Structure 1
Amino acid sequence: MNYGSQSPREPPTQRGRSVLGAAAEKAAGGDLPLLRRRSEPGVRAAGLGDAWDKETTFSGQKEKEVTGVGTTEGNPWLVSPFPRQRVAFLGLFFISCLLLLMLIMDFRHWGASLPRDRQYERYLARVGELEATDTEDPNLNYGLVVDCGSSGSRIFVYFWPRHNGNPHDLLDIKQMRDRNSQPVVKKIKPGISAMADTPEHASDYLRPLLSFAAAHVPVKKHKETPLYILCTAGMRLLPEREEYRSAVANLADLTDHQWPADHRLATAGLDNTVVPHHKSVNSLIYVSPRRSRKQLAILADLVKDLPLEFDFLFSRSQAEVISGKQEGVYAWIGINFVLGRFDHVDESDAEAPQELAAGRRRTVGILDMGGASLQIAYEVPTSTSVLPPKQEEAAKILLAEFNLGCDVHHTEHVYRVYVTTFLGFGGNFARQRYEDLVLNETLHKNRLLGQKTGLSPDSPFLDPCLPVGLTDVVERNSQVLHVRGKGDWSTCGAMLSPLLALSNTSQASLNGIYQSPIDFNNSEFYGFSEFFYCTEDVLRIGGRYHGPTFAKAAQDYCGMAWSVLTQRFKNGLYSSHADEHRLKYQCFKSAWMYQVLHEGFHFPYDYPNLRTAQLVYDREVQWTLGAILYKTRFLPLRDLRQEGVRQAHSSWFRLSFVYNHYLFFACILVVLLAIILYLLRLRRIHHRQTRASAPLNLLWIEEVVPMIGVQVGP
């Protein structure tokens, strides 16, 4: 190629056309790629405009420089018409993918680890309950409950931290423990009913209990610590010698409690329960207005003198005699609270019991057989089948509906519970009734047939409810009956059947009392007191109850000779709680428990969901825990109001932690929406500029693009 003899330079326009034609021909021949249109900003970025303005010749190194600048390989900015927009698009796309990945990982984390976290928290909470209470913590609140029973009175000290701010959660109330990690509780004897003849000394009677509590509760917390004095069976049994209205008139200066004007008296088992006509949530805790003068005098002395000596939060309505129904409801609340059945269900929680309603755990029923009384309580559905008028009235009396939540408008903790107390159906009292029955029938038969059965040790009455060979004497006034154990468990159960006082109706239990239907396929019960002692102390099969297994073990025990049983007891084969009284009446009590459970309450013989227990999570649960839970149910409102005031004065509004995850999701959605809108806007701008620059690009190609690989000149 001879550059020394090149022809004079052609005009730019003609040279551009010739270059375009040559480039097109070479492209058509496959030597060069087809030229794509370039936007004007791309040309300026590549510096082609400046190269042509200088009108340099296609000779030597300058031609190579111009050619190198104008090619795609020489400048990558010519690859994309909008390089900055493309980089921004890639960055936004990367951020979006990252946010989505984080969101997916969060969901997987919550779905997989939340149940384990909840279980771990429950475990830590149970362990923490066994540790000493930190009385130096200013965020702890305290409460006192005095259980004034028939044989003695006990005071329980409870504590709880500040409410967590969620109106759907209950207070986390626990029993206080001292420095040795022992429960803070004190008992005195006899019962407060012993003050019936000297009611002016009732406050002196309780002074040791309150002094004990005052020494454990921080002094600065005394004025905000509520005190509840709740009297049970002992006070209920005080004679009602006068009508209620005359008693109130005589003691009007000592009490300001206003009773409903109209009441209706009903009998539930052997326990009289007064029920107001009106029906409302939280009106289930009935307080009988029919009090004897002695009851009112004792309560009046407590209300009058205790505030003078102690600074606890105590009013006249906080000292009362509660009914058996009240006591049963409190016991049901306490057990279900400790078991965590008032918490909401997690869908992924494998240990969660079957739900009764959406988002709610299935509660457990309780069976409690003491020495004198028997009690049953369980939750029933809000909608029941249509009942005859008489049964409907009985159901209204025996059903209790209440709200444990702090807000009456929230129904997450509204429960409907069937509860009945049967006085005289406890283990010891049932034995007395049985002995009375045997004594009367035997003596009556002796008179009719001229026999002398049971009148002497030589001709004793053979008692099927006592171990083989055990001798005993039944005395009633001047009548004496000698008995000897026969050890026939089946016959014993048959003889106990009349004591159940069953009726012919299918919806009646002991003593012919109405019983709400139990869904045995979707229910769970816990048995306490005699239900546990009968299965564990001697038979050693406490825990999960199985009817046929229990019947076989009880029958084998009854068939053993008394000498063998005492020898086994000496060898330590029975529980440490067992004593001679337990060995003596185990045969009777096991038969009585079996009859009450399966014949009285109609539990199937193979019912699998009954657990007998003395402790729940290694601690004894008292009805007083349920009482303070119910009494303090509105206290979270105070913490919620204080939190609301604090947030109102804050310069930065913060949502409650309950809604933080919703706020996080909303922010992600807003960011994604902004990204999408921005990308759409970039696309519209790109299309608009492309359409506007099409004619200019054609003109530029004709005038500006240099001849690549084409020789200029002859």
Structure 2
Amino acid sequence: MVGTDTVKIFLLSVASLWALAGNFRAEATYYNREYSANMENLLPSVSRPTNLSRTFYGIMFDAGSTGTRIHVYTFIQKDPAELPVLDNEMYHAVKPGLSAYADKPDVGGDTIRQLLKLAKKTVPRHEWKRTPVVLKATAGLRLLPEEKAKALLDEVREVFDESPFFVPNNSVSIMNGTNEGHLYAHTRKTVGILDLGGGSTQITFLPKSKKTIYSAPPSYIARFNMFNNTYQLYTHSYLGNGLIAARLATLGALGADGLEWRVFTSSCLPKKFREDWTFGGLTYKVSGIPDGYAGYKLCYYEIMRVVKGIVHQPYEVKGSSIFYAFSYYYDRAVESGLIDGNRGGIVEVRDFKKRAKEVCNKMTKYRPISPFLCMDMTYITCLLKEGFGFKDSTVLQLAKKVNNVETSWALGATFDHFHNLNIH
């Protein structure tokens, strides 16, 4: 586990290292012009005494497909010659995500307004006008029609403009797939990152083999400079392959019409299960197969069609790399009893497979937890094995937090926001 003073670079995301860099540099011109008089109060300058520490704040909204999360970070810079360190995080999440308000953008805006009230309680009043607030939407909004996504983002911008916080240029936007990767950097040790959201899934790691770089699609390799080092990062986000989107694809409901009368069935669901299920503002009638068969083998076959041939298999993942797995990987491992919900844990890919078989072949036992648990656990197994190409023996570290900080791209994006504004 990394120490507190290394959390400052623990989750420097690709958002902070790649696509967002251009946005933030553009913001820097505006920020420095309009706020140059206040800049020296935000962070210490090199002319200040080296023993004078400064505290500053950043607000990052992660607008995901299943919920909206607010991260209010507190940073302390003890020495102008060193990077700031993360001192604290206030984190809160609300459900559903913004995409659920596709036809009611004003209601979606209210969820942001309520979360900003928490930010006001966390950030001291005298720091409000110097604290940037940013929202990055992920797969949920990318799956919406463009005009509906735009209406939601416009509503969020209005809410931000009403707030007392500093609103940078391009403060509200939809991230592309590359943005959602993560980077773990602690001395020379690196680990890969697997993230499974509702609408998309991401894989990110620093390749050790040139064959990985040469054999990957060019768009999967991000090259960037950070703190006097040049990195080549393998990173890709698969839109439509998040856990919830995969449910729709398995059911054959992704992009389907006639939702008011069609019933979507699957061998991955309990035979007697039937209910209306809502995602992305649409309601689907889903059901098991009452007179058919259910279980792991049939479910795996259904899901194979969703995964096979869609996900690129990096050369290196068949080796002994260490991968951290977050979000729904963690949640479903807890629900199925693979790991402890408070402590996380270490599992092998074969453990997901073994537990998926148990859940699918005893659906009645696990139905009270979730009727979708068989489908979800089988999808995770299939994604890891048939999708990314991991071996059964690949070790996954499942975690929700590291040093009491939520594991997401948001910290890196916030941290780098200051870094690219030339605040040192």
Common topology (TM > 0.5): yes
Asked whether the 8 Å contact 2:275–2:285 carries over to 1, the reply is no
Asked whether the 8 Å contact 1:195–1:298 carries over to 2, the reply is no
Asked whether the 8 Å contact 2:312–2:387 carries over to 1, the reply is no
Partner of 1:625, secondary structure, is helix
In structure 2, do the counterparts of structure 1 residues 171 and 486 end up closer, same or farther at CA, with 3 Å as the change threshold? farther
In structure 2, give the amino acid aligned to 1:489. Answer: Y
User: What residue in structure 2 maps to residue 419 of structure 1?
Assistant: 235
Gapped runs of 5+ residues in structure 1?
1-118, 127-136, 177-182, 242-290, 337-341, 345-359, 441-460, 503-510, 567-578, 640-714
Q: TM-score, normalised by structure 2?
A: 0.69
Asked whether the 8 Å contact 1:153–1:192 carries over to 2, the reply is no
Asked whether the 8 Å contact 2:269–2:288 carries over to 1, the reply is no
Alignment of 1:114-513 (within 5 A): 122=3, 139-150=54-65, 152-166=67-81, 170-176=83-89, 183=90, 185=92, 187=94, 191=98, 194=101, 206-240=112-146, 294=151, 297-298=154-155, 301=158, 305-306=161-162, 309-310=163-164, 312-326=165-179, 328-329=180-181, 332-333=182-183, 336=184, 342-344=185-187, 360-361=188-189, 363-381=190-208, 383-384=210-211, 387=214, 394-395=217-218, 397-405=219-227, 410-411=228-229, 414-436=230-252, 465-466=268-269, 470-473=271-274, 482-483=289-290, 486=293, 488-502=295-309, 511=310, 513=311
Q: Distance in 1 between matches of 2:410 and 2:115?
A: 15
Q: Distance in 2 between matches of 1:139 and 1:497?
A: 53
Structure number with the bigger relative contact order (C-alpha 8 A, sep ≥ 6) is 2
Partner of 2:315, secondary structure, is coil
- Residue 212 of structure 1 and its aligned partner are, at CA, apart by 3.0
CA offsets 1:171-224 (integer angstroms, 9 cap, x no match): 312433xxxxxx35464866278477767x987764443343223212232333
Partner of 1:161, secondary structure, is strand
Gapped runs of 5+ residues in structure 2?
8-51, 257-264, 277-282
Q: Distance in 2 between matches of 1:525 and 1:224?
A: 37
CA offsets 1:140-178 (integer angstroms, 9 cap, x no match): 1111112334455433211111153445xx4312433xx
Asked whether the 8 Å contact 1:528–1:613 carries over to 2, the reply is yes
Asked whether the 8 Å contact 1:487–1:587 carries over to 2, the reply is no
Partner of 1:632, secondary structure, is helix
User: What residue in structure 2 maps to residue 555 of structure 1?
Assistant: 357
CA offsets 1:367-422 (integer angstroms, 9 cap, x no match): 222333322222224845785xxx77x32x222223343xxxx11xx432222222
Q: Distance in 2 between matches of 1:594 and 1:586?
A: 12
Asked whether the 8 Å contact 2:267–2:298 carries over to 1, the reply is yes
CA radius of gyration, larger in:
1
Partner of 2:3, secondary structure, is helix
In structure 2, do the counterparts of structure 1 residues 429 and 419 end up closer, same or farther at CA, with 3 Å as the change threshold? same
Q: Distance in 2 between matches of 1:592 and 1:216?
A: 39
In structure 2, give the amino acid aligned to 1:598. Answer: K
User: What residue in structure 1 maps to residue 48 of structure 2?
Assistant: none
Higher helix residue share:
1
In structure 2, do the counterparts of structure 1 residues 529 and 318 end up closer, same or farther at CA, with 3 Å as the change threshold? closer
In structure 2, do the counterparts of structure 1 residues 240 and 379 end up closer, same or farther at CA, with 3 Å as the change threshold? same
Partner of 1:316, secondary structure, is coil
Q: Does residue 539 in structure 1 map to residue 337 in structure 2? A: yes
Partner of 1:492, secondary structure, is helix
Asked whether the 8 Å contact 1:466–1:484 carries over to 2, the reply is no
Partner of 2:224, secondary structure, is strand
Q: Does residue 597 in structure 1 map to residue 400 in structure 2? A: no
- Residue 628 of structure 1 and its aligned partner are, at CA, apart by 0.7
Asked whether the 8 Å contact 1:238–1:294 carries over to 2, the reply is no
Q: Distance in 2 between matches of 1:534 and 1:292?
A: 29
Higher strand residue share:
2
In structure 2, do the counterparts of structure 1 residues 386 and 429 end up closer, same or farther at CA, with 3 Å as the change threshold? closer
In structure 2, do the counterparts of structure 1 residues 519 and 165 end up closer, same or farther at CA, with 3 Å as the change threshold? farther
CA offsets 1:475-510 (integer angstroms, 9 cap, x no match): 8989987436855423432343222241xxxxxxxx
CA offsets 1:683-703 (integer angstroms, 9 cap, x no match): xxxxxxxxxxxxxxxxxxxxx
- Residue 297 of structure 1 and its aligned partner are, at CA, apart by 4.2
User: What residue in structure 1 maps to residue 419 of structure 2?
Assistant: 633
User: What residue in structure 2 maps to residue 449 of structure 1?
Assistant: none
In structure 2, do the counterparts of structure 1 residues 172 and 403 end up closer, same or farther at CA, with 3 Å as the change threshold? farther
